[in-house]
Amino acid sequence: MNLKDLVRTIPDYPKKGIMFRDITTLMQHPAGFRRTVDEMVYPFAGSSITAIAGIEARGFILGGAVAHQLSIGFVAVRKKGKLPWQTISVEYELEYGTDEVEIHIDSVEAGDQILIVDDLIATGGTAAATTQLVRDAGGEVVGASFIVDLPELGGRARLEEMGVPVRTLMSFEGE
């Protein structure tokens, strides 16, 4: 089974010229979803990772499954204003404006070894902000794992410049 064949491409979504890579079709496929989670887990089995930082929203699904398989904790990385308790946050640049992500102040402790998980790495803005959040909280980002890489948008290189090893299961050319 080729996992890449299970990812649906939707042209001109959300705007003209974008080729949207939809992983919901992969997640609907029982064997494909199981294999995806297994491939995201196996490089880290037996490692010193203490928690997964899953980025809202598909990173919650994938990160929760990976955390379960590794028998470790899960840290929810959410858009500003979505978490119910005290938080720390990082603002980051978007194509037009800024956004902000946050975590609870007690979700990462000094010395925690964190793996960032999300469905796709494009420009890397949210993953870079998540890296900064973990570091601000005293944790160490030991890697980032994604299903899809869009290499032309530079996100992987951006994270690697921050000293974060990146693992992806597949890549697609274009946006």
- How far, in Å, CA of 143 to CA of 140, rounded? 9
Contact indicator for 54, 108 with CB cutoff of 8 Å: no
Question: What is the C-alpha separation between 122 and 3, in angstroms, rounded?
Answer: 19
Residue 7 identity (one-letter amino acid): V
| Cα 22 from Cα 7, distance rounded (Å) | 6
Q: Mark whether 56 is an active-site residue.
A: no
The dihedral through the CA atoms of 73, 79, 85, 87 has a sign that is positive
8-11/19-22 β-pairing:
antiparallel
* Residue 85 neighbours by CB distance under 10 Å: 8
CB 164 within 8 A of CB 132: no
Active-site residue identified among 58, 100, 167, 175: 58
158 tagged catalytic:
no
Positions marked catalytic = 58, 95
